[in-house]
Amino acid sequence: SFTGSPVTLKILQNWVPRVSHHFDKEHYTYVGHQIVIQESIEHFGAVVWPGALALSQYLESNQEQFNLKDKKVLEIGAGTGLLSIVACILGAHVTATDLPEVLDNLSYNISRNTQNLNMHKPEVRKLVWGESLNEDFPVSTYHYDFILATDVVYHHAALDPLLATMVYFCKPGTVLLWANKFRFSTDYEFLEKVCNIFNTTILAEFPESNVKLLKATVRKN
């Protein structure tokens, strides 16, 4: 159910090594901007995972194919916000979403890295997969050009609500870009479900990191 053949890439060392006593801050460079990310060890969503690095790098390198300028972009499971910040630098109207307990750190990272840039002001919102989607993001008002998701699939119980959330936001004309480290059989089972629902292409593979980057769009009836 795939079309085309993926390119094989390597996640570049885009973070800047530094001598610092702040062990909780990571420095990255994308699209000519230094991005400082504060990680938090309390939550899964508060660490930068390889999928976010892979998709950030891919969007930076493929701006003609995926032009985010002035596009409406929703990131689900935004975590530390690195990818949303990169999308913002690339000119998108970004809405970064995650669970309530992650939002403080997410908001902090996004505001500190985008506040002095001449770009659309990003929005940070609560989104619990599969819950209150129609109330919080009514279809009549919210339509996104791109849905971004990185390392949202791992060994957790919310895979069905996650899939329902992807289906809810992926309307005709929307492109879902999903990068994930594939480790478990559940990851591949989820991939199979995505392929059964959407037109799915593997854009790139990062073999050293076990990351695959996929593009999915709604099937035309």
Tell me the H-state helices in 129-217: 133-136, 159-169, 185-197
For the cut 80, the answer to whether the pLDDT of residue 20 exceeds it is no
The model's pLDDT over 186-209, given as tens digits with 9 standing for 90+, comes to 999 999 999 999 999 999 999 999
156-160: average pLDDT: 87
Q: What integer pLDDT is reported at residue 46 of this predicted model?
A: 67
More confident: 4 or 70: 70
Tell me the H-state helices in 76-137: 82-89, 103-114, 133-136
This prediction has a pTM of 0.90
Q: What integer pLDDT is reported at residue 7 of this predicted model?
A: 84
Any idea which architecture 46-218 has in CATH?
3-Layer(aba) Sandwich (3.40)
Q: What integer pLDDT is reported at residue 18 of this predicted model?
A: 47
Q: What integer pLDDT is reported at residue 23 of this predicted model?
A: 47
For the cut 90, the answer to whether the pLDDT of residue 73 exceeds it is yes
